[in-house]
Structure 1
Amino acid sequence: MALCLGKPSASFRFATICTVGSVLGGILGYGIGLFAFEAVGKPLLNFYDPQRQVFTEVKNLYHDWGFWGVVIAAITPIPYKLFTLGSGILKFDFVQFLLASIVGRSLRIFTVCTLIFFFGDRIKTWLEGNLIESIAVIGTLAIALLLLLKLF
């Protein structure tokens, strides 16, 4: 957000770089969950979710939603880190994980950058005060759209 505000004309370039970095981080999390859970993943999971409440929800979402669960985590304030680790731990299909990560992270990051591109400094204060709520609204709309797509 700071880079986009500093140079709004480069917002989409910054969004692309940020999205690629986030997806690469997701791939790293997937790899940790798949190959290094005991050594690295377990301490991370204990740090972010000591009671394993979120991870239990993650497992349930995978069971019910799979691909769409990862998309939802990538868009909303749900900890995406836990979904990346969970994807590896649960041996979720990597191609589906990768596609869901690209879709979800792109939606989240490009939404903020697009707003800054078009509205610049005028939207900065609003985004800073309402970012979580805004992402929750965008996530809710995305979930509704995904449910419609799944039904039809």
Structure 2
Amino acid sequence: MLNALYKKCLELAAHKSSKFFLGIVSFVESSFFPIPPDVMIIPMVFAKKKEFIKIFLIATIFSVLGGIFGYFLGSFFFDFASEIISIYGYEDKILKIKNDLNEGTGFYAWFGILFLAGFTPLPYKVFTIASGLVGFNLLIFIIVSIISRGLRFFIISFLSYKFGYLFTEFMNKHGSKWFTIIGVVLVFIFAVVIYILKHTS
């Protein structure tokens, strides 16, 4: 099933209306679809190198809009949201963070997790839905999504433009690992900055 969807996304990347389909895939991936937009972004940039910024913007904008849709799924359709979260096995983790948020703690933890979900191979859709489910601040959710998704898709688009098929080989072998490492480092830097600001004010 996943392999068939993957191949279909590759076919859509070569379609004359590929940007339209990229927008659709980016939107639905943020709420329930299992194949990430990266699958389309890389071959699209190969085919139209001068449009790599437009491709990255389409993926980012529609991914964030899809994330907002996922947020409202979590807010208003509890049973459906819980079913999607349970598929990925995150029920206990989400419940714990919801309790922490209700008790006034856990905000920064969720902030960091949401960033990592948008930037790394973590299932972003689970955390868009869960953000609505736990009542995380919508404005902050949108800002974090724009930064994490935008940074991820810009890196993929730019490096595809710059290095071509060498980048494809790198992504296939090491992509998940390095996006995770970079994401964790960025969250760590953010945590250190917050800590310093709190203790110097």
Cα distance in 2 for partners of 1:137, 1:121 equals: 22
1:58–1:86 Cα contact (<8 Å) kept? no
* Alignment partner, residue 46 of structure 1: 86
SS at match of 2:122: coil
1:4–1:113 Cα contact (<8 Å) kept? yes
1:52-63, aligned counterparts within 5 Å? 52-56=91-95, 59=98, 63=106
* Alignment partner, residue 44 of structure 2: 3
**Alpha-carbon offset, residue 59 of structure 1:** 4.1
Cα distance in 2 for partners of 1:8, 1:36 equals: 41
**Alpha-carbon offset, residue 34 of structure 1:** 0.3
Moved more, 51-60 or 85-94: 51-60
**Alpha-carbon offset, residue 54 of structure 1:** 4.4
Moved more, 74-83 or 95-104: 74-83
Deviations 1:8-60 (A, max 9, x none): 2211111110011111111111000001112x2122122222x6244346548
Cα distance in 2 for partners of 1:139, 1:112 equals: 14
Number of residue pairs matched?
150
Moved more, 77-86 or 22-31: 77-86
Confirm whether residue 36 of structure 1 aligns to residue 77 of structure 2.
Answer: yes
AA aligned opposite 1:47: I
Moved more, 58-67 or 142-151: 58-67
SS at match of 2:162: helix
The structure-2 alpha-carbon separation of the partners of 1:57 and 1:139, relative to structure 1 and needing over 3 Å to count, comes to: farther
* Alignment partner, residue 18 of structure 1: 59
Cα distance in 1 for partners of 2:100, 2:161 equals: 34
For the aligned residues, what is the CA RMSD?
2.1
SS at match of 2:121: coil
Of 106, 128, 132 in structure 1, the residue corresponding to residue 150 of structure 2 is 106
Cα distance in 1 for partners of 2:122, 2:193 equals: 22
* Alignment partner, residue 148 of structure 1: 192
Cα distance in 2 for partners of 1:106, 1:78 equals: 16
Moved more, 98-107 or 6-15: 6-15
SS at match of 1:112: helix
Percent identity (aligned): 27
AA aligned opposite 1:131: G
Cα distance in 1 for partners of 2:174, 2:168 equals: 10
Instruction: Decide which structure has the larger Cα Rg and report it.
Output: 2
SS at match of 1:77: coil
Q: Does 1 or 2 have the higher relative contact order (CA < 8 Å, sep 6+)?
A: 1
The structure-2 alpha-carbon separation of the partners of 1:81 and 1:36, relative to structure 1 and needing over 3 Å to count, comes to: same
SS at match of 1:115: helix
The structure-2 alpha-carbon separation of the partners of 1:57 and 1:3, relative to structure 1 and needing over 3 Å to count, comes to: farther
Cα distance in 2 for partners of 1:2, 1:12 equals: 14
**Alpha-carbon offset, residue 61 of structure 1:** 8.2
Deviations 1:114-146 (A, max 9, x none): 111222223221122211012112212212221
